[in-house]
């Protein structure tokens, strides 16, 4: 695991209706980057790479329903597209008119839509293991809504898993696979909360319910066409090569992003945690002469 002598700060970013927790790295006058994590991860996703990019002022958020951030009120479903609006509101609270984005997986999907919605505010964008959200055919719409309605009813009747201590939660997540143990521990330390008889996941259980609406592939491409900032897309070779259908989809999407550099590096889906040095090197090379 990478460690650093550079301390981070824990901050709260308060909107009128939601409080976002964030971990802030780097100097006050550093290059402003809004960091967004993957589904069911949290702000600690950049703990291993932030020390390798000391010139950045990286504000790494817990999305709502994740980590230390607020959950939505009871009975309300999470909508992917809402995160686009919320992240611009967060940037407003930080006083950033123009800024840069770094996103992993789900966070990369949010970032790509942000850059296509209000492109004049995004200066540079780094996407790790993701280029836009999952798409569905238009005909899937009724099915998606039904599954979500049924899923919300079902999830409300279930309780979250309970573990006797933090290490038991770490081991449970590690058994799922896909990450080194140190990387798992980094995320889990911020991803659990203490309860009476042990620890449980801090994330909102409603996040596990499928989306109620999806964009079609054609709609997502229209977002990409509006992107104006230089974009770095980083793939881990393990998942990319083991999933040829996803590889083909990503290759096709890349054609519609105007100024995109596509880099394949050793590693899996969480390569920025498992093997951060090559990822940091690719980022620094990308940003050279751009900022």
CB 99 within 8 A of CB 123: yes
Q: According to the model, what pLDDT value does residue 153 have?
A: 93
For residues 171 and 175, what is the distance between their CA atoms, to the nearest angstrom?
6
CATH class of 9-287: alpha beta
Q: According to the model, what pLDDT value does residue 4 have?
A: 43
CA angle 126, 132, 133 (to 5 degrees): 135
For residues 208 and 83, what is the distance between their CA atoms, to the nearest angstrom?
16
Token reading at 230: 């230089």
Q: Strands 231-236 and 198-201: what pairing? A: unpaired
Catalytic positions, written as ranges: 105
Which pLDDT band, with edges at 50, 70 and 90, does 224 fall under? very high
How much is the pTM?
0.95
CA angle 58, 61, 62 (to 5 degrees): 155
Q: According to the model, what pLDDT value does residue 3 have?
A: 42
Q: 199: which strand partners?
A: 163, 194
Q: According to the model, what pLDDT value does residue 251 have?
A: 87
Per-residue CA distances from 35 to 205, 237, 240 (Å): 23, 22, 23
Residue in this structure with the two tokens 């000391």, named with its chain if needed: 54
Neighbours of 275 (CB within 10 A): 20
For residues 35 and 127, what is the distance between their CA atoms, to the nearest angstrom?
10
Chain CA centroid to CA 42, Å: 8
Question: What is the per-residue pLDDT across 141-185, written as a single tens digit (0 to 9) for each?
Answer: 999 999 999 999 999 888 899 999 999 999 999 999 889 999 999
Q: Strands 122-128 and 231-236: what pairing? A: parallel
Question: What is the per-residue pLDDT across 16-34, written as a single tens digit (0 to 9) for each?
Answer: 999 999 999 999 999 999 9
Q: According to the model, what pLDDT value does residue 248 have?
A: 83
Q: According to the model, what pLDDT value does residue 6 have?
A: 54
For residues 223 and 212, what is the distance between their CA atoms, to the nearest angstrom?
20
Does 99 have pLDDT greater than 70?
A: yes
CA quadruple 28, 31, 32, 34: dihedral sign: negative
Q: According to the model, what pLDDT value does residue 249 have?
A: 83
Q: According to the model, what pLDDT value does residue 147 have?
A: 96
Neighbours of 163 (CB within 10 A): 21
Question: What is the per-residue pLDDT across 244-286, written as a single tens digit (0 to 9) for each?
Answer: 777 788 889 999 999 999 999 999 999 999 999 999 999 999 9
Q: According to the model, what pLDDT value does residue 191 have?
A: 97
Q: According to the model, what pLDDT value does residue 1 have?
A: 39
Residue in this structure with the two tokens 């569905």, named with its chain if needed: 136
Going from N- to C-terminal start, the domains of the chain cover: 9-287
Token reading at 60: 């790494």
Question: What is the per-residue pLDDT across 29-77, written as a single tens digit (0 to 9) for each?
Answer: 999 999 999 999 999 999 999 999 999 999 999 999 999 999 999 999 9
């Amino acid at each position: 695991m990478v460690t650093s002598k550079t301390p981070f700060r824990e901050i709260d970013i308060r909107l009128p209706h939601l409080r976002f927790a964030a971990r802030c790295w780097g100097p006050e006058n550093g290059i402003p980057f809004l960091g967004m994590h993957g589904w069911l991860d949290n702000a600690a996703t950049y703990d291993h790479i932030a020390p390798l990019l000391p010139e950045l002022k990286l504000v790494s958020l817990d999305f709502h329903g994740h980590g230390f951030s607020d959950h939505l009120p009871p009975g309300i479903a999470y909508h992917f597209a809402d995160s686009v609006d919320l992240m611009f509101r967060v940037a407003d609270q930080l006083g950033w008119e123009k800024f840069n984005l770094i996103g992993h997986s789900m966070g990369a999907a949010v970032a790509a839509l942000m850059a296509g919605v209000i492109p004049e505010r995004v200066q540079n964008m780094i996407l790790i293991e993701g280029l836009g959200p999952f798409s569905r055919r238009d005909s899937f719409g009724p099915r998606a809504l039904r599954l979500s309605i049924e899923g919300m009813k079902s999830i409300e009747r279930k309780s979250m898993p309970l573990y006797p201590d933090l290490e038991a939660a770490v081991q449970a997540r590690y058994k799922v696979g896909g990450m080194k143990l140190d990387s798992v521990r980094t995320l889990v330390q911020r991803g659990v909360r203490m309860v009476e008889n042990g620890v449980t996941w801090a994330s909102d259980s409603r996040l596990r319910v499928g989306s109620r609406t999806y964009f079609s592939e054609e709609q997502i491409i229209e977002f990409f066409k509006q992107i104006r900032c230089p974009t770095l897309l980083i793939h881990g070779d393990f998942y990319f090569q083991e999933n040829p259908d996803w590889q083909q989809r990503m290759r096709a999407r890349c054609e519609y992003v105007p100024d995109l550099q596509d880099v394949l590096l050793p590693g899996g889906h969480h390569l920025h945690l498992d093997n951060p040095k090559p990822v940091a090197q690719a980022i620094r090379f990308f940003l050279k002469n751009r900022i």
